[in-house]
Amino acid sequence: MTGILPADGGQQTVATDGERRSVDDIRPSGNSNWLMALKCHADRSPDSPAVEFAGQSRTYGEMWADVRRLAAGMQAQGLGRGDIVGVLGFNSYRYLLVVLASSYIGAVSMPTNFRLAVPEIAHLLGQTEPALFFCDSELSEGLSAAAERAGVQVRAVTMEGPPADGSVSMDELMTDDPDAALAVMAEHDMHRLVFTSGTTSYPKGAMISHGNIAWKNLVHACDFGYAAEDVGLICGPMYHVGAFDVTATSLLHVGGSLVLHRRFDAARVLAAIEAQHVTTIWLAPAMLQALLAHPDVERRDLSSVRLIVSGGEKVPEPLILKLLKVFPSAWFADAYGLTEGGSAVTVLQRSQTLAKRGSPGKPLLFVELAIMDPGGETVGPNVVGEIVMRSPAVFHGYWKDPESTRQAFRGGWLHTQDLGYLDDDGYLYVVDRLKDMIRSGSENIASLEVERALYEHPAVTEVAVVGRPHERWGEVPWAFVVSGEDLTEAELLDHCRERLAGYKVPKGVTFASELPRNASGKVLKRELRVEIAELGEMTGRPEAHRAEPIDRPV
């Protein structure tokens, strides 16, 4: 018997209507719209719980009806395939509906970071010119100011709160006659436009396709064991792939249920876990630390949690041991991921939690990972280089930025701009961001290595290390430290000298009340470099000083 695909892998053609055509042109590939999964669950299990928010719950059948009502209303406004739909708000059921309804009609949702300043939102508006923009009323003033600055007309719809001036409410948009048809989408068609957190520059728009979402959900179901019985708590911001993709879309794909919190609050999270028997949660590092520091954490029954996904910073061993104590059933899945890679890319298996602590584990299913030198050649074990990857979940490029896309995809791999190495057993260790490496004289100093040493001091709660200009060495390491105790610079530097080579020891310390972070919990080192610039070039050893809280958009 002859198969459809020839043995040499060439393109098969068939004769149709007197001419030969590619099999791909006539193959009935079906609908790759990722909402097909929700349609399936609404049909098979319409009474199964889907979402709980603010004391109200919706089943899969009810949510599917709500999605269709909003989709029909959006279509009546002239929206359709390829149109950009902005979303600016805190977590809510309505926020989720906007993303789902956009996909239903083939539009592209653009979740927007509510922490962005007006100029940053204006940049996004100028890049995308959304056809419709859903916004919480308390954030509408910033959206209006950004639209004026960008010179863009914005049709606004208020999700939560009273309608802002010039906007309509989401209730008005939802129709009682949901006659919109589910859009037929190919795997490469865009589902969502996610602007990266922008730790080094203006955010870039990552184009995520329906196929990316489907593959990512499949991989997460396999590697994290997601099932319909899971209850996922969403307390991180839904504009971020950690909350939205590691947990929300993955659980909806398998028919699980979601508990949405408008914003993160440690006390509410602990109470919800106990009351609603939460089984899985994604937590940014700062959120995880806040939970473990809460005075009620050891008095709550948290045994329902089987999976905690986190990553981005090394969690000190004492915190891991406390986590395993207060979450006795949990797998602490330390992970490495990025928006462009489909959220989580690697994960540390439960059996290696302590043995390989500091490593975010091995690649997930269908993920290939390698370490490359600057020339694009792969390197051997324990050699530091750039982390590169490829998988079906890798995004489709940067919005209106072909040069950044070309750079990211050179050589047939996604270049992450993260430095790391694989040990002899194939476990990944992340060393630093390429742009965060401190170059002191002829030596390269990984800021993460210095930070890890500082984190081992019991009085340090947050830390970040950046390079400070030096008249002789070019750069030297400088530490920003948050501590709730009366800690001195001398204590910290003595602590580092016991753990680090002399040239890696920070040459000074700034004590701060907090560090600026993005939604994924990563420190915004560009803001710390502004503080460093104000200190000026270093010519000696200045005394440590205590900084005022760093101003940033809220």
Structure confidence at residue 455 as a pLDDT band (50, 70, 90): confident
Q: Report whether 51 contacts 260 (CB < 8 A).
A: yes
The Cβ of residue 57 has, within 10 Å, a number of other Cβ atoms equal to 15
**pLDDT by residue (tens digit) across 196-208?**
865 545 678 999 9
Which residues does 360 contact at the CB level (< 8 Å), separation at least 6? 311, 334, 335, 336, 346, 347, 348, 428, 430
Integer Cα distance of 417 and 387 in angstroms: 7
Angle, alpha carbons 140-168-128 (nearest 5°): 60
Q: Report whether 53 contacts 92 (CB < 8 A).
A: yes
Q: With 0-12 CB in 10 A as exposed, 13-18 as middle and 19+ as buried, what is 54?
A: exposed
What mean pLDDT comes out for the span 433-451? 80
What is the DSSP code (8-state) at residue 21? E
* Tokens 């990512």 belong to residue: 216
What is the DSSP code (8-state) at residue 93? H
| pLDDT of 8 higher than 70 | no
- pLDDT recorded at residue 2: 38
Q: How many H helices and E strands in the chain? A: 17, 28
Nearest CA-CA partner of 98 in 154, 45, 156: 156
Kindly list the structural domains of the chain, giving each domain's residue range(s) and its CATH number in brackets, ordered by start: 36-428 (3.40.50.12780), 437-546 (3.30.300.30)
What Å distances lie between residue 514 and 241, 266, 547, CA to CA?
24, 17, 10
**pLDDT by residue (tens digit) across 470-522?**
887 888 999 999 998 889 999 999 999 988 888 889 999 999 999 987 655 67
Structure confidence at residue 28 as a pLDDT band (50, 70, 90): confident
What Å distances lie between residue 49 and 116, 216, 231, 521, 552, CA to CA?
34, 23, 10, 30, 39
Integer Cα distance of 410 and 287 in angstroms: 35
**Crossing angle for the helix pair 317-326 and 285-293, to the nearest 10 degrees:** 60
**Mean pLDDT for all residues in the chain:** 89
What mean pLDDT comes out for the span 536-554? 50
- pLDDT recorded at residue 434: 77
- pLDDT recorded at residue 245: 95
What is the DSSP code (8-state) at residue 160? S
Question: What is the helix (H) or strand (E) element at residue 49, kind and residue range?
Answer: strand 49-53
Integer Cα distance of 191 and 204 in angstroms: 16
Structure confidence at residue 546 as a pLDDT band (50, 70, 90): very low
What mean pLDDT comes out for the span 394-399? 96
Between 246 and 22, whose confidence is greater?
246
Structure confidence at residue 438 as a pLDDT band (50, 70, 90): confident
**pLDDT by residue (tens digit) across 29-80?**
789 999 999 999 999 999 999 999 999 999 999 999 999 999 999 999 999 9
- pLDDT recorded at residue 544: 46
Question: What is the helix (H) or strand (E) element at residue 286, kind and residue range?
Answer: helix 285-293
DSSP string, 422-443: E-TTS-EEEEEEGGG-EEETTE
- Cα 202 to its chain centre, rounded Å, is 16
| pLDDT of 6 higher than 70 | no
Greatest extent of the chain over all pairs of C-alpha atoms, in Å:
85
| pLDDT of 553 higher than 50 | no
Nearest CA-CA partner of 136 in 287, 269, 264, 262: 262
**pLDDT by residue (tens digit) across 248-265?**
999 999 999 999 999 999
The reported pTM is: 0.82
- pLDDT recorded at residue 550: 37
Integer Cα distance of 131 and 154 in angstroms: 7
- pLDDT recorded at residue 543: 42
Q: Which two tokens stand for residue 49?
A: 């719980």
- pLDDT recorded at residue 7: 47
